[in-house]
A and B are shown apart, each in its own frame.
Chain A
Amino acid sequence: MQESPKYWKGIEELENSPEFLHNALSEFGIPMKESRPSSDDTVAPRRDFLKLMGFSLAAATLASCEAPVRKAIPYLNKPEEVDPGIANFYASTYFTGQDYNSVLVKTREGRPIKLEGNPESPVTRGGLSARAQASVLSLYDGARLQSFAINGKAADKDKVDQEIRTRLASAGRIAIVSHTIISPSTKRAIADFAGRFAGVEHVQYDANSVSALLRANGGVVPGYDFSKASVIVSLGADFLGTWISPVEYAAQYIVNRKVSSEKRSMSRHIQFETNMSLTGSNADVRAAVKPSQMGTIAQQLYNAVVSGTMPAKPADPKKDIMANALYLAASELKAAGNGGLVVSGSNDANVQALVAAINASLGTAAINAAAPSYVRQGDDQRMANFVNGIGNYGAVIFYHANPVYDHPMGDKVAAALTNKGLLSISFNHTADETGGLCQYQCPDHHWMESWNDYEPKRGFLSLSQPVITPLFKTRQAQESLLTWAGNPNTYYNYLRNNWRGILGGNFQAGWDKAVHDGVATGTLLPAPAAQLAPAGQATAPTAKSAGIELAIYEKVGLGDGSEANNPWLQELPDPVSKATWGNYVTVPRAMAKEKGWEQGDVVKVTANGKSVELPVLIQPGQAQGTIGIALGYGRTKAGMVADKVGANAFPLVSLADNALNYVATATIEATGSREPLAQTQTHHTIMDRKPVVQVATLEQYIKNPKEVTEYEKIATPDGLEKPSRVSLWQDYEYKNHHWAMAIDLNSCIGCGSCVVGCQVENNIPVVGKQEVINRREMHWMRIDRYYSSETHKDSFEDKGKLSTYALMEDPSDNPQVIFQPMMCQHCNHAPCETVCPVLATTHSTEGLNQMTYNRCVGTRYCANNCPYKVRRFNWFSYYSNEKFETVNGHMFTDLGRMVLNPDVMVRARGVIEKCSMCVQRIQLGKLEAKKQKRRPKDGEVVTACAQSCPTQAIVFGDLKDPNSRVAQIWRREDGERGFKVLDAVNTQPNVTYLTKIRNSATSEFFAPEVEKAEKKAEPHNA
Chain B
Amino acid sequence: MQHVSPVRIPLVTSGKTYHDVTEDVCRQVEAKPNIRWMAALSVALFFLGVFLYSVYRTLWYGIGEWGLNKTVDWAWDITNFVWWVGIGHAGTLISAVLLLFRQKWRTSINRAAEAMTIFAVICAAMFPVLHMGRPWLAFWVLPLQNTFGSLWVNFNSPLLWDVFAISTYFSVSLVFWYTGLVPDFATIRDRAKGPIARRAYALLSFGWKGGAKHWSRYETVSLILAGVSTPLVLSVHTIVSMDFATSVVPGWHTTIFPPYFVAGAIFSGFAMVLTLMLITRVVFKLEDYITLEHIALMNKIMMITGSIVGVAYITEFFIAWYSQVEFEQYAFINRATGPYWWAYWSMMTCNVISPQLVWIRRVRYSIPMTFVLSIIVNIGMWFERFVIIVTSLHRDYLPSSWAMFSPSIIDIGIYVGTLGLFFTLFLLFAKFFPVINMAEVKSILKYGVDNGPTYGGPNTGAQQSAYRPTGAPASAPVNYNKHD
Interface residues of A (CB under 8 A from B): 681-687, 689, 691-692, 771, 774-777, 782, 784-786, 801-802, 805-806, 820, 822, 831, 834-839, 855-861, 863-865, 867-869, 871-877, 881, 908-912, 981-982, 985, 987, 1018-1022
Contact = CB atoms under 8 A, between A and B. Distances in A.
B133 A873 contact: yes
B248 interface: yes
A689 B395 CA distance: 13
A859 B62 contact: no
B151 interface: yes
A412 B442 CA distance: 97
B412 to A, nearest CB: 16
Contacts of A875: 62-64, 68
B62 A985 contact: no
B217 interface: no
16 contacts: A691-B397, A775-B70, A784-B398, A801-B333, A837-B153, A837-B157, A838-B153, A857-B133, A859-B159, A864-B393, A868-B397, A909-B62, A910-B133, A911-B133, A985-B248, A987-B248
B157 A776 contact: no
B403 interface: yes
A876 B68 CA distance: 12
B403 A873 contact: no
A838 B73 contact: no
Interface string B188-227: 0000000000000000000000000000000000000000
B141 A857 contact: yes
Contacts of B325: 1020-1022
Interface string B160-171: 100100000000
B365 to A, nearest CB: 42
B264 to A, nearest CB: 20
B248 A865 contact: yes
Given A909-B62, A910-B62, A855 B140 contact: yes
A138 B327 CA distance: 45
B140 A838 contact: yes
A899 to B, nearest CB: 24
Contact of B134 (A802, A910, A982): A910
A861 B132 CA distance: 10
A867 B397 contact: yes
A860 B243 CA distance: 12
B337 interface: yes
Interface string B429-447: 0000000000000000000
Contacts of A784: 398, 400
From B135, B326, B404, name the one whose CB has the most chain A CB atoms within 10 angstroms. B326
B119 to A, nearest CB: 24
Given A831-B248, A838-B141, A873-B73, A802 B337 contact: yes
A877 B60 CA distance: 10
B177 interface: no
Q: Which of B71, B141, B400 counts the most chain A CB atoms within 10 A?
A: B400
A838 B154 contact: yes
8 tightest A-B CB contacts, nearest first? A858-B133, A910-B133, A875-B64, A784-B400, A775-B69, A869-B401, A860-B73, A683-B402
Contacts of A856: 133-134
A957 to B, nearest CB: 25
A514 B204 CA distance: 88
B240 to A, nearest CB: 13
A771 B68 CA distance: 11
A859 B73 CA distance: 9
Nearest to B392: A864
Contacts of A881: 61-62
Given A834-B157, A867-B248, A982-B397, A1018 B64 contact: no
Contacts, number: 184
A843 to B, nearest CB: 12
Interface string B113-137: 0000000000000001001111101
A332 B263 CA distance: 68
A135 to B, nearest CB: 27
B2 interface: no
Interface of B is mostly: loop
Given A689-B397, A689-B398, A987-B248, 20 more contacts: A685-B399, A686-B399, A689-B327, A775-B403, A786-B399, A820-B400, A834-B156, A835-B157, A839-B152, A857-B141, A864-B74, A865-B247, A867-B397, A873-B63, A873-B68, A876-B62, A876-B64, A881-B62, A909-B62, A985-B248
Contacts of A681: 400-401
Contacts of B137: 857
From A684, A863, A1018, residue with most partner B Cβ within 10 Å: A863
B428 interface: no
Interface string B378-409: 00000000000000010111111111100000
Given A857-B138, A876-B61, A683 B247 contact: no
A685 B395 CA distance: 13
B470 interface: no
Interface in B333-358: 333-334, 337
A805 B330 contact: yes
A867 B398 contact: yes
Contacts of B402: 682-683
Contacts of B163: 837
A1022 B140 CA distance: 33
B249 interface: yes
A864 B128 CA distance: 15
Contacts of B71: 775, 869
B59 to A, nearest CB: 10
A820 B398 CA distance: 11
B310 interface: no
B159 A682 contact: no
Contact of B333 (A775, A805, A859, A981): A805
B151 A831 contact: no
Interface string B29-67: 000000000000000000000000000000001111001
A801 B332 CA distance: 12
B324 interface: yes
B321 to A, nearest CB: 10
Nearest to A1022: B325
A506 to B, nearest CB: 56
A872 B64 CA distance: 12
A1020 B133 CA distance: 36
B400 A785 contact: yes
A863 B70 contact: yes
Given A692-B398, A774-B69, A784-B400, A857 B134 contact: yes
A115 B160 CA distance: 44
A877 B62 CA distance: 8
Given A682-B402, A822-B400, A858-B134, A872 B70 contact: yes
Interface string B307-329: 00000000000000001111100
A822 B326 contact: no
A802 B324 CA distance: 16
B158 interface: yes
Contacts of A685: 399
B246 to A, nearest CB: 8
Contacts of B249: 864-865, 867
A669 B327 CA distance: 42
B70 A869 contact: yes
A689 B326 contact: yes
A689 B331 CA distance: 13
Given A784-B400, A985-B248, A839 B154 contact: yes
A1022 B248 CA distance: 9
Given A775-B69, A839-B151, A864-B74, A831 B247 contact: yes
Most buried by A among B70, B402, B403: B70
B389 to A, nearest CB: 9
B399 to A, nearest CB: 5
A687 B63 contact: no
Contacts of A820: 400
Contact of A682 (B63, B152, B333, B403): B403
Contacts of A909: 62, 133-134
